[in-house]
Chains A and B, each alone.
Chain A
Amino acid sequence: MKETLLELKNISVHYGGVHALDGVNVSLDEGEIVALMGPNGAGKSTVLKAIFGLAPINSGRVLWHQQSINPVAHEVVRLGVSFVPQGRRVFTRLTVEENLEVGGFIIKNKPELNRRIREVMQIFTVLERKRKYKSGTLSGGEQQMLALARGLMTDPKVLLLDEPSLGLAPKIVKEVFQKIKEINERHKTAIMVVEHNIKSLLEIVDRAYILDKGKVITYGEPQALLKTDILEKVFLGKFE
């Protein structure tokens, strides 16, 4: 029986009068890849933000190893959770190498930090060649790789990815998904990934949650979901 690492219980997030999330239950077990899918405005990204305390939680609890936590961004990462936000958001004023260094900000031991940089660069060889480049000069795909690499600096047990395919060409998207799978298989990192609607993502995930209008509509193994017409219904706005 796999242990549940991260769990959101009955989470509601309201922005002003808007209910971004309404009693959402989501969990992530060790070693698995879980997708959160749904149309724009479904609340997928808000789930990840709530875990990091970046969205105001009105009710419900966030559990880490069955213990309730008070989500504060700079402390959640110390538990072993990393967040790669939407739109890559690398530090453009810093070089590739410096981005990785600050990605390991919580590592206080310098040799350990350097060892992590080397390890992460072995996963993303493209970054090794461009280590001295300002990250603003990288292509979109390279920046996404850097954002992923930065997220891996702390050797997290859980990786949260918010739309890693956004704005990337289909070929690059495939590469990014392959890296995600590789990270999961080699390092046993549990991954929760938010995507709009990419069927190819379902090929690499263990489970998927389908969200619409701030609620979880259904969840299950991808094969089971693909057999139904729930995805089409949700994305075409036919779900009642």
Chain B
Amino acid sequence: MDLIMQFIINSLIAGATYTLVTLGFNLVYGATKFVNMFHGVLAAVGGYTVFFFTQTIGIDLWVSIIVGIIGAGLVGFLADRFIFSTLRIKKASNLVMFIASLGAFIVLQAVLAMVFTSQFQSIVHSVDSPRVYEIGSAAITHIQLLIIITALFSSFGLVLLLRFTMFGKAVKAISDDEEVAKIIGIDTNKIIGYVFFIGSAIAGIAGILIGFDTGIQPTMGLAILLEGATASIIGGIGNLYGGIAGSFLLGFVENFGIWKIPSEWKGAITFSVLIIFLIFRPQGIFKK
């Protein structure tokens, strides 16, 4: 029974982490219809920005976190301005956009490794042991609880933004028919730029929280991206609600999957689920 409780908690933590990745990934996919691989590295950008400002410069942690979130958003925004929007104007295919985003991902990951080394690093000083809350005999750390709360607030905030603001309706209009969106006066390039900023900032939050929980590494983006992309596909790519459902489904399947088999096979479970969905329900849970 206690073991089940711990599995449930671990599943929720994993689901919340994937949610933070899928929110931005699906937001960008919805508006641009391309699989943005660059999204993964933005988590590392968030984590390393906080690392740089707290450890190297020695600025207050909270200020560093805000700089980290805005920094990740800005890097995503600039990648759109200089790479993706240029390709969109040239009417590049989604495959070209996908490859370009993967290229940009690898370049930025390499830059992070050159500047900060490829070593695994901790954002917080290792002497600070995390606060732990106990639920029965199961445990959750302060940071892990924060991941769940942040995922909830981010999901809720993004849903409200899309549903009740003119910006949100413009994003949906672009997602439906970009040419008509232009015709009615929406500067689609500008709105897509904002979409990149918001989506990338949320990826930055994910990276910062993961950094606090387990640490940072320049290559952390790929694993995060693959989990997030899998959760998005399971839920129905481009659909925010689908992404959230897919994230938690994946979190539970992975964590309960390793109940009886060694945890090193977690990745195999993830991609088995992906393949099962691609064969039997390629449109995902939420798409009709």
Chain A residues in the interface with B (C-beta under 8 A): 52, 54, 73-74, 77-78, 82-83, 85, 89, 91-94, 98, 101-103, 105-106, 150, 153-154
Quote the shortest CB–CB distance from A144 to chain B (angstroms).
14
Query: Looking at the complex, which one of A85, A92, A101, A154 makes contact with B185 (CB distance below 8 Å)?
Result: A154
Offer 5 A-B interface pairs, CB within 8 angstroms, sorted by A: A74-B186, A78-B185, A85-B179, A85-B180, A105-B170
Could you say which of B172, B180, B182, B186 has the most chain A C-beta atoms within 10 Å of its C-beta? B180
> A239 vs B185: C-alpha distance in the bound complex, in angstroms?
39
Known A-B contacts: A74-B187, A78-B185, A94-B176. Give 16 more (CB < 8 A): A73-B179, A73-B183, A74-B182, A77-B185, A82-B184, A91-B172, A92-B176, A94-B169, A94-B172, A102-B170, A102-B173, A102-B181, A103-B184, A105-B184, A105-B185, A154-B185
Choose from B173, B179, B186 the contact partner of A94 (Cβ within 8 Å).
Answer: B173
Question: Which has the most chain B C-beta neighbours within 10 Å: A73, A150, A154?
Answer: A73
Q: Which residue of A lies closest to B189 (CB)?
A: A74
Given contacts A92-B176, A93-B175, contact A102 B183 (CB under 8 A): no
Cβ–Cβ contact B177 & A101, under 8 A: no
CA gap between A151 and B176 in the complex, in Å? 17
Using a CB–CB cutoff of 8 Å, the interface residues on chain B facing chain A are: 166, 169-170, 172-173, 175-177, 179-188
Chain B nearest CB: distance from A164 CB in Å? 15
**Residue of B with least CB distance to A77:** B185
Cα distance A83–B58 when bound, in Å? 56
Could you tell me the distance between the alpha carbons of A105 and B185 in the complex, rounded to whole angstroms?
6
Q: How far is the CA of A234 from the CA of B186 in the complex (A)?
A: 38
Count A/B pairs, Cβ under 8 Å: 61
Whole-angstrom CA separation of A93 from B239 in the bound complex: 12
A82, A85, A91: the one contacting B173 at CB < 8 Å is A91
Indicate which residue in A52, A91, A103, A106 contacts B177 across the interface (CB closer than 8 Å).
A91
Bound form: Cα–Cα A153–B186 in Å: 14
Which of chain A's residues have a CB closer than 8 A to the CB of B179? 54, 73, 85
Interface of B is mostly: helix
Complexed CA–CA distance, A73 and B181 (Å): 9
Do A93 and B185 contact each other (CB < 8 Å), given the known contacts A85-B179, A85-B180, A105-B166? no
Taking the closest CB of chain A, its distance from the CB of B251, in whole angstroms, is: 28
Please give me the residue from chain B that is nearest to A72 by CB atom.
Answer: B182
The reply to whether B169 and A98 form a contact with Cβ atoms under 8 Å apart is yes
B187's closest neighbor in chain A, by CB?
Answer: A74
Kindly list chain A residues whose C-beta atoms are within 8 Å of the C-beta of B169. Answer: 94, 98, 101-102
CB neighbours (8 Å) of A150 from chain B are 184
On chain B, the residues within 8 Å of A91 by CB distance are: 172-173, 176-177, 180
Q: Which residues of B contact A74 (CB under 8 A)?
A: 182-183, 185-188
A102 touches B166 (CB 8 A): yes
Chain B residues with CB under 8 Å of A154's CB are: 184-185
Contacts of A54 in B (CB 8 A): 179, 182-183
B280 to chain A, nearest CB (A): 26
Q: Are B175 and A102 in contact (CB under 8 A)?
A: no
In the bound complex, CA of A89 to CA of B176 (Å): 9
Across the A-B interface, give the 8 residue pairs with the lowest CB-CB distance, nearest first.
A73-B182, A77-B185, A106-B185, A91-B176, A102-B173, A74-B187, A83-B183, A105-B185
Q: Which residues of B contact A73 (CB under 8 A)?
A: 179, 182-183
Q: Are B186 and A102 in contact (CB under 8 A)?
A: yes
Report chain A residues within 8 Å CB of B183: 52, 54, 73-74, 77, 83, 85
Task: Given A54-B179, A85-B179, A105-B166, verify A77-B173 contact (CB < 8 Å).
Answer: no
Q: How far is the CA of A93 from the CA of B188 in the complex (A)?
A: 17
**Cβ of B184 and Cβ of A77 under 8 Å apart?**
yes
Contacts of A77 in B (CB 8 A): 183-185
CA distance A183 to B136 in the complex (A): 70
B283 to chain A, nearest CB (A): 16
CB contacts (< 8 Å) of A89 on chain B: these are 177, 180
**When chains A and B are docked, how far (Å) is the Cα of A39 from the Cα of B259?**
69
Taking CB atoms, residues of chain B closer than 8 Å to A93 are 172, 175-176
A-chain residues with CB within 8 Å of residue B188 when the two chains form the complex: 74
Q: How far is the CA of A54 from the CA of B179 in the complex (A)?
A: 8
CA distance A235 to B170 in the complex (A): 41
A101 to B179, CA, bound (A): 17
Q: Which of B179, B181, B185 has the most CB atoms of chain A within a 10 A radius of its CB? A: B185
Most chain A beta-carbon neighbours within 10 Å: one of B173, B180, B182, B183: B183
Chain A minimum-CB-distance residue to B188: A74
Give the CA-CA distance A74 to B179 in the complex, in Å: 10
A40 CA / B176 CA spacing, docked (Å): 27
